[in-house]
Amino acid sequence: MAGIVRRSFDSADETRPFADGKGRMDLLSTDHGPVGRAVFEPGWRWSEHVGPIAGTDSCQASHAGYVVGGRMRVVMDDGEEGEVGPGDFMQIAPGHDAWVLGDEPCVVVDWVGFGDYARAG
């Protein structure tokens, strides 16, 4: 393992587009597992733009990440709700829906839940 590793999400190992052009997830493979940067465009909603890809009623990924910009609303299957925005660390359990708030993209870096995110069957 190298002492310093520098990678750019702009040259990701894999890019997974969301339905209807509502964003993408750029994935880097690292020695410690996948790290993803998601760009959720205004109008993006998990249940509409990733749910059909995942084939589940709600997002079943666990997330731990950092919101770089934009805002997102998250609603858990049990009804718990919250918002995340720029500078926030977020940890979200499986079983949720989420959508972008406002008219700017929500950009999230996640080092736990994006390995299989938005990947077909």
Tell me which amino acid residue 59 is: C
What mean pLDDT is reported for the chain?
93
- Phi and psi at 41, nearest 5°, equal -80, 155
What confidence tens digit (pLDDT) does each residue in 25-61 have?
Answer: 999 999 989 999 999 999 999 999 999 888 999 999 9
Band (2; pLDDT cuts 50, 70, 90):
confident
Mean pLDDT score, 78-100: 98
Band (119; pLDDT cuts 50, 70, 90):
low
So what's the pLDDT on residue 118? 65
